[in-house]
Amino acid sequence: ARKAKKAAPAIAPRKPGQSDVIVLGAGVSGLQAAWMLEQEGKTVTVIEARERVGGRIWTLLDQPGYPEMGFNSMAEGYGRGLDAANRAGVEMVEVGARFRYGAPPLLWMNGKPMTRAEWAAFPGNPLPDKLKMLLPGEVVGKLVSDNNRLADWSSWHDPANAALDISLYAFLKGQGLSDAAIHLCWDLSPYYGTNAWDVSTLMMEYNDGFVKGQMAAGTKSLSVKGGNIHLATGMARLLKGDVLLGREVVAITQDGGTATVHTADGATFSAPHVICSLPFSALRNVKVLPALEGPQAQAVGQLGYQPISMVFATATAPFWDEDKLAPGMWTDGPLGTVMPQRYGATPEEITGFIVQARGNLALYWDRMGAEAAKAMVVRQIETLRPAAKGKVAAHSYFSWAGERFNGGDVSFFGPGQVQWLDEMIKPAGRVHFCGEHTAQGARGLEGALESAERVALEVLTA
Ligand X SMILES: Cc1cc2nc3c(=O)[nH]c(=O)nc-3n(C[C@H](O)[C@H](O)[C@H](O)COP(=O)(O)OP(=O)(O)OC[C@H]3O[C@@H](n4cnc5c(N)ncnc54)[C@H](O)[C@@H]3O)c2cc1C
Q: Is 203 in the site for ligand X (CB under 6 A)?
A: no
**Alpha-carbon 388 to chain mean position:** 31
CA end-to-end span of the chain? 32
Q: x/- contact string, 329-368, with ligand X (CB under 6 A)?
A: ----------------------------------------
Please, are residues 391 and 327 in contact by the beta-carbon 8 Å criterion? no
CB closer to ligand X out of 221 and 351: 221
> Minimum Å distance from CB 173 to ligand X?
29
Q: Please identify, using beta-carbon distances, which residue of 263 and 351 lies nearer to ligand X.
A: 263
Proportion of the chain in helix, strand, coil states, percent, rounded to 5: 35, 20, 40
In the list 21, 23, 24, 300, the residue contacting ligand X (rule: CB under 6 A) is 24
Give the contacts of 95 (CB within 8 A, at least 6 positions apart).
73, 221, 222, 223, 343
Cα separation, 330 vs 327, whole angstroms? 10
Q: Is 57 in the site for ligand X (CB under 6 A)?
A: yes
Single residue of 208, 446, 450, 458 touching ligand X by CB under 6 A: 446
444 binds ligand X (CB under 6 A): yes
Q: Using the rule CB under 6 A, which residue among 26, 37, 114, 377 binds ligand X?
A: 26
Q: Are 234 and 32 in contact (CB under 8 A)?
A: no
Q: Which residue in the set 377, 401, 445, 459 belongs to the binding site for ligand X (CB under 6 A)? A: 445
What is d(CA 36, CA 277) in angstroms, rounded to the nearest whole number? 14
* From 20-28, 202-210, 333-341, 346-354, span contacting ligand X (CB under 6 A): 20-28
Site for ligand X in 142-171 (CB under 6 A): none
Site size for ligand X (CB under 6 A) = 38
The b/e string for 83-113 (b: 16+ C-beta within 10 A; e otherwise) is ebbeebebebeebbebbeebeebbbbbeeeb
Cis before residue 290, ω within 30 degrees of 0? yes
Q: Which is nearer to ligand X, 127 or 308 (CB)?
A: 308
Nearer to ligand X, 172 or 243 (CB): 243
Among 259, 355, 394, 410, binds ligand X (CB under 6 A): 410
Q: Per CB under 6 A, does 401 bind ligand X?
A: no
If the CB atoms of residues 169 and 210 are measured against ligand X, the closer one turns out to be 210
Q: Considering the rule CB under 6 A, would residue 71 count as an interface residue with ligand X? A: yes
- Please identify, using beta-carbon distances, which residue of 114 and 193 lies nearer to ligand X: 193
- Under rule CB under 6 A, which residues in 268-297 are in contact with ligand X? 277-279, 282, 286
Among 139, 204, 229, 249, binds ligand X (CB under 6 A): 249
Q: Give one DSSP letter per residue of 129-144, joined into a string.
A: GGGTTS-HHHHHHHHH
- Using the contact rule CB under 6 A, the part of the chain among 99-107, 113-121, 152-160, 445-453 near ligand X is 445-453
55 binds ligand X, rule: CB under 6 A: yes
Among the candidate windows 50-58, 188-196, 289-297, 366-374, which touches ligand X by CB under 6 A? 50-58
Exactly one of 143, 448, 456, 459 binds ligand X (CB under 6 A); that residue is 448
CA–CA separation, 450 and 434 (whole Å): 9
- Kindly give the pairing relationship between strand 287-289 and strand 44-47: unpaired
Residue with Cβ nearer ligand X (44 or 131): 44
Q: How far is the CB of 155 from ligand X (least distance, A)?
A: 22
22 strand-pairing partners: 45, 274
In sequence order, what DSSP letters do the residues of 217-250 get, joined into one string? H---EEEETT-THHHHHHHHHT-SS-EEES--EE
Question: CB of 1 within 8 A of CB of 246?
Answer: yes
CB of 83 to ligand X, least distance (A): 14
User: Residue 102: what residue type?
Assistant: G
Beta strands 287-289 and 249-255: pairing type? parallel
Verify binding: residue 44, ligand X, rule CB under 6 A.
Answer: no
**108 near ligand X, judged by CB under 6 A:** no
Q: Is 433 in the site for ligand X (CB under 6 A)?
A: no
Listed residue (66, 54, 451) closest to 231, CA to CA: 54
Options 4, 20, 43, 50; binder of ligand X; rule CB under 6 A: 50
Q: What is the DSSP letter of 184?
A: I
Least spacing, CB of residue 437 vs ligand X, in Å:
7
Kindly give, in sequence order, each residue whose CB lies less than 8 Å from that of residue 264, ignoring residues fewer than 6 positions away.
247, 248, 249, 250
Options 4, 21, 47, 184; binder of ligand X; rule CB under 6 A: 47
Decide: is 308 part of the binding site for ligand X (CB under 6 A).
yes
Backbone dihedral region of 111: left (phi > 0), alpha (psi from -120 to 50 degrees) or beta? Answer: left
Which parts of this chain interact with ligand X (CB under 6 A)? 24-30, 47-50, 55-57, 70-74, 248-249, 277-279, 282, 286, 308, 400, 405-406, 409-410, 435-436, 444-446, 448
